[in-house]
Each structure stands twice: as structure tokens, then as C-alpha cells.
């Protein structure tokens, strides 16, 4: 069953079924939730921020919005349960950006081999430190990557990989997230200099987009960005 948003885009009224999957990544196996609507444009894989995972209420809200806009979604824990126990004590693994990027690359490889998703282009949605890992993954393995979105992210953590990112990147930052906004402006200047990337500032929002309406605004910006860079739905061709 379909409705429309204010721009006339068809929306799914019922969420797709969520399937628990296990993804090999190096010498570990990651837990993930896969949701595929009946007619997906593409799939968006989430790169969670420090101390977060597939149960993040904010990222699940964004994923549900993307599902309505005909995008499949994958929310994966980037750390195993054992690693999470260690990280709660040391807070080291959550900031190991190269390791997290390697796991994202393994997730992309799994998506490209999994029968249910191998025909779909991939988008990365990164939050906080996960945005830096997503940008590194997009730079190192650009094949089949349609676009990247960062919400309240730390793209600066991608370092020298920033100019190597080919995919168009949308940086979404809260108006009142002053330090992160400054970091995002600097990162934007280093991203693909052909004008394919953009910074959008959400009014009244702080780092976690907890203010009324701000997370909804960020989710809609992400949906529109992926929609722009994924091409039309098959029935629209």
C-alpha cells in the first residue's frame, strides 16, 4: 500500500519485515538487521557512532524513514558482544576508525554477494565516528557505492581519504553543534572538489538531534539525498 509525501514521491505505508543476519568480517561475525521493501531502490548500510549499535533508536528511526522511501536498510553491530564488553571498559575499539572501516568494507562485500541484495547499489549512512569509517570505506572500495550521508558525524576522522571519496556526500549537522559544525565545514572543503558534496545545517538541533522535529528533518534530508543519487524506481522508468 502506497501514499505520497508532499513532493508526490510514493511512500510505503507498511514497514518491511526485519530479518536477523550474521555477517563475516575478518576473523569475527557481526550481528545485523536487514529490512527489504518489496521494490527497493537501493540499500543503505548504517555505520554507527561511538558506543552505539544496531539498536540505536535514532538510527532505527532514520532506517524506518528510508524504508518508506523504498530503500532497503542494514543496521549492523560493528563490534561483537565480547568486544563491546571490552570497549565499555577501555573505550578504545569504538575509536579504532581503520578497523571499523575494514568491517564496513566486509559488510559491503557481503551485501554484494548476498542473493537478496547483490543487485542493489549501496549507500552509507554514518553517525558520529561512524561517518569517518564510512567515508574511508567509500574511498577504498568505491565500486557500487551510490552516496554517503553523515549525521552529526566526524568526517574529519577520514583524514587523507577525504579527497579520494568519489561518491556524493551529504553532511548533516545541527545548528547548535558548534564544534562538529566547524569540523564538517573543514572536511567539506577537502571532499570531492567537483561540487557533488554538500553541508546541510538543521536549525535548532544539537549533536544528538533530540530537539522536536530535528531528527525527522535529518531523516528526510538523508532520504532525499539517497533518492537523488539512486535513480528512479523501476515502475517510474
Q: Which residues pair with 19 in a beta bridge?
A: 34
Whole-model pTM: value is 0.91
194 pLDDT higher than 90: no
Question: What DSSP string runs through 102-125?
Answer: HHHHHHHHHHHHSTTTTTS-EEEE
Pairing label, strands 145-151, 169-174: parallel
The CATH superfamily holding the domain 15-231 is Alpha/Beta hydrolase fold, catalytic domain (3.40.50.1820)
7 pLDDT higher than 70: no
Identify the pLDDT of residue 112.
97
**Rounded to an integer, what distance in angstroms lies between the CA atom of residue 138 and that of residue 192?**
12
Helices (H) and strands (E) in the chain, counts: 6, 10
236 pLDDT higher than 60: no
Condensed to tens digits (0 to 9), the pLDDT of residues 40-63 reads: 999 999 998 766 678 788 999 999
Identify the pLDDT of residue 121.
97
Cell of residue 159, nine digits: 583524514
Condensed to tens digits (0 to 9), the pLDDT of residues 69-92 reads: 999 999 999 988 888 887 677 766
**Domain extent listing, the chain:** 15-231
CB 143 within 8 A of CB 169: no
**Mean pLDDT, residues 220-226:** 97
**Mean pLDDT over the full length of the chain:** 90
Identify the pLDDT of residue 85.
81
Identify the pLDDT of residue 56.
83
**Rounded to an integer, what distance in angstroms lies between the CA atom of residue 139 and that of residue 135?**
6
Amino acid at each position: 500500500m502506497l501514499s505520497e509525501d508532499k513532493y508526490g514521491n510514493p511512500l510505503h505505508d507498511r514497514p518491511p519485515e526485519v530479518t536477523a543476519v550474521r555477517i563475516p568480517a575478518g576473523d569475527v561475525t557481526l550481528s545485523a538487521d536487514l529490512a527489504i521493501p518489496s521494490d527497493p531502490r537501493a540499500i543503505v548500510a548504517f555505520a554507527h557512532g561511538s558506543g552505539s549499535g544496531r539498536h540505536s533508536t535514532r538510527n532505527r528511526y532514520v532506517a524506518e524513514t528510508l524504508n518508506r522511501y523504498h530503500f532497503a536498510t542494514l543496521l549492523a553491530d560493528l563490534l561483537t558482544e565480547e568486544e563491546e564488553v571490552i570497549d565499555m571498559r577501555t573505550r578504545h575499539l569504538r575509536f579504532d576508525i581503520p578497523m571499523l572501516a575494514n568491517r564496513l568494507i566486509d559488510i559491503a562485500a557481503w551485501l554484494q554477494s548476498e542473493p537478496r541484495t547483490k543487485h542493489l547499489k549501496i549507500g552509507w549512512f554514518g553517525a558520529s565516528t561512524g561517518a569517518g569509517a564510512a567515508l574511508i570505506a567509500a574511498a577504498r572500495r568505491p565500486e557500487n557505492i551510490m552516496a554517503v550521508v553523515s549525521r552529526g558525524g566526524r568526517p574529519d576522522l577520514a583524514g587523507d581519504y577525504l579527497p579520494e571519496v568519489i561518491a556524493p556526500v551529504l553532511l548533516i549537522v545541527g545548528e547548535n553543534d558548534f564544534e562538529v559544525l566547524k569540523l564538517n565545514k573543514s572536511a567539506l572543503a577537502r571532499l570531492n572538489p567537483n561540487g557533488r558534496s554538500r553541508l546541510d545545517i538543521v536549525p535548532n538541533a544539537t549533536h544528538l538531534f533530540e530537539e522536536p522535529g530535528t531528527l525527522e528533518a535529518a531523516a528526510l534530508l538523508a532520504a532525499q539525498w539517497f533518492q537523488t543519487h539512486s535513480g528512479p524506481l523501476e515502475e517510474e522508468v
